[in-house]
Amino acid sequence: MTFSIHGIPVARGIAIGRAVLVASSRVDVAHYFIQPEEVRAEIERLGVARDAVVDELQRMQSDMPKDMPPELGAMLDVHLMLLQDDSLAYEIRRWIKERLYNAEWALVSQLEVVVRQFEEMEDDYLRERKADLEQVIERVIRRLKGAAAPVAAPPPRPARQHDLLLDDTLDVPLVLVAHDLSPADMLQFKKSVFAGFVTDVGGKTSHTAIVARSMDIPAVVGARSASQLVRQDDWVIIDGDAGVMIVDPSPIILAEYGFKQRQGELERGRLARLKNTPAVTLDGQKIELLANIEQPGDTEAAVAVGAVGVGLFRTEFLFMGRAGQLPDEEEQYAAYRAAVEGMHGMPMTIRTIDIGADKPLDDRRPDTHLNPALGLRAIRWSLSEPAMFLTQLRAILRAAAHGQVHLLIPMLAHASEIRQTLELLDRARAQLDARGAVHGRVLLGAMIEIPAAALQLRLFLRHFDFLSIGTNDLIQYTLAIDRADESVAHLYDQLHPAVLRLIADTIAEGARQGKMVAVCGEMAGDPEMTRLLLGLGLRSFSMHPSQILQVKQEVLRADAGKLSDWARAVLESDEPARLLAGE
């Protein structure tokens, strides 16, 4: 039966494929892909764990006191029967062989399928046997966790298909459905087989959504109960434009969305022709279109779409999911150098670590702060860990010897934070000089993402060479809205008059003092905002590579001079969204 689930659209396009539920059962397990040559070893690992549980249950049976109720022995018999069921074992092995799932993921995937079958049974006794299966699977998973394989790199995602094949071959696209995905999860899946994803929670500018846009795959977040309503291997459609997931679509709906999918691919082909076209407005204004990246390898995608530099390298992804083992100076230096060299002489803006809120350092260490977004994050965390911060600063300074590096500091608000940051930067240079290490000059920039910073721009411009407006957090802190909370997503308004005033004043003050101001938040990559930002005087946009060509198209069609009066009218309006819509 066809039904729709509505959420928040965060990455455009259409995805059609089979649903893959991550941690959809009660069992919390690691999900990762293995390499094809590891299939045999993974199946053997599964077999060893299953045999260990069989031995454990058989010992329990033989050691059972005679005065124990016979029902307990019968329950153990059922568990042993399930463990030794050839059909169950075959299906679990199939997940490993065909989907390249790790053993734990294969177990919970098959558990989800069988539990659904049990729930549909009319016989009460048989329906209740799902609890036995869950217990058996949990025992095997506990055994596997005791000898878990390391996380393997996912296999590359196959090319997107033009035609939907309604069968169970390996070529069928897969769509990820989860309650939530951490930024580290997203990076792990970044080059994987998934054609799109849906999560129960999240907001338009949660980090999960941001990484989804960088992956350039359709995505919907804040879909509430999607992971509970969708079954493993259901056919689903993700409409990343409308924020809708359609489950078990009819042939007519499939045909309609297949057509939309092909139209989207044709549009991407047309945009690709703009790659080498300079970003210049109709009245001759040169516009700088930069890329946001998460990993050094992302520079390849930035260059491929014609980015003229990187406006934001989010270094925190080098630190995540490492069980407290932070990257040392050499590892960081190698990563930053690779990123710098990957841009072939174009500028590379490296932001110091921005950990906290929706970007925890380690998923296994839950943030216990009452409000992580207002807690020890970004520069606050760096200043509280000076040894870590000095290590990162030294690595960035060394990478600057290999190209143009701009150093960007996040979440500054106080003069004391600026002073401490500058002192640590000087100390890092002195440490490198003391050991004779080569390092380069950097331009120093500050993120404007707290209203307090936007209201004391003259202080910032005395100390920094450039400013970069982080609109995601600026909106969050100006409007007192958690940007990762779907329950208040409707209040997250990038066109709120207060937000626009802070952005406009920052751009204008930078122009007065002859210093560059960029926007590196999600607003920069929204083609519906391009004309307004041009009218406000913005000349440097930084966004995910997947958004650059759409924004360039808007730039090429715009007359920046004629837009300035209109932009001022929008700025003075009590309801800018209405004026923008009626442009």
What phi and psi, each to the nearest 5 degrees, are found at residue 121? -75, 140
Query: Where do the H-state alpha helices sit in 402-496?
Result: 415-434, 451-454, 457-463, 471-479
Give the tokens for residue 33: 């892909």
Are the C-beta atoms of 372 and 356 separated by less than 8 Å? yes
Which of 12, 8, 14, 10 lies closest to 253, judged by CA?
Answer: 14
- Considering 79, 496, 520, 544, which one is annotated as catalytic? 520
- How does 101-112 read in b/e, with b if 16+ C-beta sit within 10 Å? bbbbbbbbbbbb
Which of 246, 348, 373, 354 lies closest to 296, judged by CA?
Answer: 348
Q: CA 576, 580, 582, 583 torsion: positive or negative?
A: positive
Are the C-beta atoms of 546 and 229 separated by less than 8 Å? no
| Cα(456)–Cα(452) distance, integer angstroms | 7
Which of 480, 481, 471, 455 lies closest to 541, judged by CA?
Answer: 471
Q: CA 147, 149, 212, 174 torsion: positive or negative?
A: negative
Within 8 A by CB and 6+ apart from 301, the residues are: 291, 293, 545, 546
Give the tokens for residue 43: 């199946």
Q: Catalytic: 496?
A: no
518 by DSSP, 3-state: which? strand
- Considering 79, 207, 406, 439, which one is annotated as catalytic? 207
Q: CA 511, 514, 520, 524 torsion: positive or negative?
A: positive
Q: Catalytic: 402?
A: no
Q: CA 479, 480, 483, 488 torsion: positive or negative?
A: negative
Neighbours of 227 (CB within 10 A): 20
Active-site positions read 207, 520
